[in-house]
Amino acid sequence: MDTSLVAAPPARAVRVPRRARVTIIVAAAIGLVAFFWPFVLAPGALGSTRTPPLLFGVLLLLVLAVVFTEIAEHRIDAKALAMLGVLAAVNAALRPLGAGTAGIETVFFLLVLAGRVFGPGFGFALGCTSLFASALLTGGVGPWMPYQMFGCAYVGMLAGLLPRVRGRAEIALLAGYAAVSGYLFGFLLNLSFWPFSLDPASSIAYRPGLPVLEQLQRYLVFDAVTSLGWDTGRAVTTAVLTVLAGPAVLSALRRAARKARFQP
């Protein structure tokens, strides 16, 4: 029996250089501001409804610029970049199989497993690149794409920050997180259109000037009424795929990581 399969899990396979790590943290933080601005600003206060997607675009360019700089200065292993490209391509190919019908999504479980094995920085980059490649493949390019990219980036990043356990406990942990991430993604994506989608007189519509807690209560009701069923489909699909395919995929990814011996 291979004792490496039951020993304590290794450190994250891909270590992100410090400068790239700082940039990803800053981009993730500003991305959260771009998601949650309705709770602190009125519609139009940022200039137009296009400002948040443009802000996301600038953040993505910033992340890419740092990554390319680290590659040019040989601080990111080319093998790690190749692994990122392969997994992004696989995820882009998996997405049309679910296509979001009734909330069924096939793209998230690989994000969770890859983020778990390769670390939060890799998971963040994989979430962005997977959705970008998928949008080009399916013709899903639009103002919603930056929101989707950052939503998936958070899913992959948080998977890399989960506690280090192994065996059945790890699969249970990842399955639970996979279910939560299905709801988290829907919660974030609904913020992209909630302030502009309802009659202001509605009891669940965004209303400028309300206290943050009251605004949040309105949004939670809106989220539950409009997409809870859809998000449940995504959560269940991702959790089930994680349970069924998780052990084999984790083993394959960890075996690839050991053989590659990534050296940032």
Condensed to tens digits (0 to 9), the pLDDT of residues 19-55 reads 667 777 877 887 887 788 888 765 555 544 455 556 6
What is the rounded distance in angstroms from the CA atom of residue 130 to the CA atom of residue 111? 9
Q: Enumerate the H helices of the chain as residue ranges.
A: 18-36, 51-72, 78-98, 108-118, 120-138, 145-159, 168-190, 194-197, 212-260
The percentage of the chain sitting over the pLDDT mark of 90, rounded to a whole number, equals: 25
- In total, the chain counts a number of residues equal to 264
What is the rounded distance in angstroms from the CA atom of residue 77 to the CA atom of residue 55? 29
What is the rounded distance in angstroms from the CA atom of residue 107 to the CA atom of residue 112? 9
- 185: domain CATH number? 1.10.1760
Rounded mean pLDDT of 151-156? Answer: 90
Contact assessment for residue 32 and residue 139, using Cβ atoms and an 8 Å cutoff: no
Question: What would the DSSP string read from start to end of 121-144?
Answer: HHHHHHHHHHHHHHHHHHT--STT
Rounded mean pLDDT of 133-158? Answer: 80
**Six-digit token string for 17:** 């250089």
Report the chain's mean pLDDT, rounded to a whole number. Answer: 79
- The most confident of 13-22, 38-47, 68-77, by mean pLDDT: 13-22
Reply yes or no on whether the pLDDT at 200 is more than 50.
Answer: yes
pTM score of the predicted model: 0.81
- For residue 34, give its domain range: 3-260
pLDDT on residue 48: 46
What total of structural domains would you count in the chain?
A: 1
pLDDT on residue 243: 95
pLDDT on residue 43: 53
Q: At what angle do helices 78-98 and 120-138 cross, to 10 degrees?
A: 50
Reply yes or no on whether the pLDDT at 229 is more than 50.
Answer: yes
